[in-house]
A and B are shown apart, each in its own frame.
Chain A
Amino acid sequence: QKEVEQDPGPLSVPEGAIVSLNCTYSNSAFQYFMWYRQYSRKGPELLMYTYSSGNKEDGRFTAQVDKSSKYISLFIRDSQPSDSATYLCAMSAGGYNKLIFGAGTRLAVHP
């Protein structure tokens, strides 16, 4: 079993929809939770981070962490075609530690 599980999709939604992306994990030592966006043939780009449990909002993006359930989510409101990419969750047990990534969810937002 992988440390981080993420549904690879693909997920196809109409423009303007609310998108929900999720990951589960098994290692209770994870403290830092990140979401990266990766466009085709590009390196991952950090979108959001959360330390420990709670919610964090940044514009159209909201990240949630539920450590009791070992479950994290990323919500995208008013989705745009430019949001079409692969979304990777990543976790770390310590500040400078390696990141453990999920497999990524491919998202397509169609006009």
Chain B
Amino acid sequence: DTGVSQDPRHKITKRGQNVTFRCDPISEHNRLYWYRQTLGQGPEFLTYFQNEAQLEKSRLLSDRFSAERPKGSFSTLEIQRTEQGDSAMYLCASSQRRDRPYEQYFGPGTRLTVT
């Protein structure tokens, strides 16, 4: 396993711009999760995919946020019209094991700074 990868690792953008992050899960992991983590807080759930189907979305995921997972492989998270409150670490996780379904493997995160 090469692990969960995320790109970019850091993104600085101006308020009002759109940004897109990519997550590549561990190969053959069919479940993929997005979380957001702000300084001094634990990760907060944003959304969850099983294969290409988006099964759950948090109320945190406003209409400016959209996530996709075409073909059930990599996933993208787009934030439109960014606001300073969107500044956070965006974490992706994947899981697969039937015997340990709760075991989510996290990527290194994408740190977003909105100026």
Contact = CB atoms under 8 A, between A and B. Distances in A.
Do A and B originate from a single complex? yes
Interface of A: 4, 6, 8, 32, 34, 36, 41-46, 49, 88, 90, 92, 95-104
Interface string B1-45: 000100000000000000000000000000101010000111111
A31 to B, nearest CB: 9
B45 A99 contact: yes
12 contacts: A43-B93, A44-B43, A44-B106, A46-B104, A46-B105, A95-B101, A95-B102, A96-B101, A97-B102, A99-B43, A101-B43, A101-B44
Interface of B: 4, 31, 33, 35, 40-45, 48, 50, 56, 58, 91, 93, 95, 100-109, 111
A43 B109 contact: yes
A59 B111 CA distance: 33
A49 B106 contact: no
A41 B111 contact: yes
Contact of A46 (B56, B103, B107): B103
Contacts, number: 61
A44 B56 CA distance: 21
Contact of B4 (A43, A96, A100, A101): A43
A6 B42 contact: yes
Contacts of A8: 40
A71 to B, nearest CB: 17
